Amino acid sequence: MALGITKTYTPSSGQATDASAYNTDLSTLFNAFSGLEAQTSSLGGLTITPAANSTTTFKVTNTIGTSLLSVDTTNSSVIMKTGTRLYLDSSSGMYISNNGTASLDFYVDNTLSLSVRDDYVLIPSGKLGFQSISVVYLNYNTNTASLDFYFNAILMSIFETYTYTPNQIRIGTDSANNGIDDATGGTASTPLYIGNQIIGVSSGTTGGTGSAGSGKQYVQLKIGATTYKILTDGSI
């Protein structure tokens, strides 16, 4: 193997002039030192490959000898020193870093945007978008301490002690007739249950004792073993 290094030199007394021998000596010295072969392409690129039976690790170190990047040719791995950064935009603020706390951190504009830990993923601030960041996304609101779900507008907010929604909640079937809301909706009402007991429906078109019959609409309460049917006219 030749390194492509040639040099004219003056041999010692009695030694023949042999530039190729000098070149071979340099090649041998290089391989013995690093266990690597270096080849230059016609385009000026540099390719480094391990020599036969080599277990050499290729390293990039700083001025005091600390390894910042190493290529383990035996285990086919690239190793970056803890705390170093892999820049994606000419070192102007977008990079990936391992800060030494068992986390892989992603920075945009020098701000931590995402941190992958050993048992969870952290989004310090901002939104988690699912289609368009302005249409469908999940956001933690630090002002209200709530986890907000958006679909063009706020769909639901989860607080520490309660859940809020400005919209109808539908149970069983995706129909306004199955919705729970603070305003009227749908064309009819479907009875809803807690366990095996109805929790009530009513209609302004029913009233009087006759409306408590089978198929009629009323509000039903069960207290102990007694079931009460409260009709829309107030009778029980």
Establish if 196 belongs to a structural domain: yes
* Residue 41 DSSP class: -
Task: Name every residue whose Cβ is closer than 8 Å to that of residue 4 and which is 6 or more positions away in sequence.
Answer: 40
* Residue 176 DSSP class: G
Model pLDDT, residue 208? 47
Establish if 198 belongs to a structural domain: yes
Establish if 161 belongs to a structural domain: no
Establish if 176 belongs to a structural domain: yes
Which positions of the chain have pLDDT values less than 70? 1-57, 91, 199-218, 220, 232-233
Model pLDDT, residue 169? 92
Model pLDDT, residue 9? 54
Model pLDDT, residue 174? 92
Rounded Cα–Cα distance for residues 28 and 11 (Å): 19
Establish if 102 belongs to a structural domain: no
Model pLDDT, residue 13? 67
Angle among Cα 155, 156, 162 to the nearest 5 degrees reads: 165
Establish if 227 belongs to a structural domain: yes
Rounded Cα–Cα distance for residues 192 and 175 (Å): 13
Model pLDDT, residue 142? 87
Model pLDDT, residue 217? 60
What's the structural domain count of the chain? Answer: 1
Q: Which domain holds residue 179?
A: 171-236
Establish if 159 belongs to a structural domain: no
Establish if 74 belongs to a structural domain: no
Task: Name every residue whose Cβ is closer than 8 Å to that of residue 24 and which is 6 or more positions away in sequence.
Answer: 2
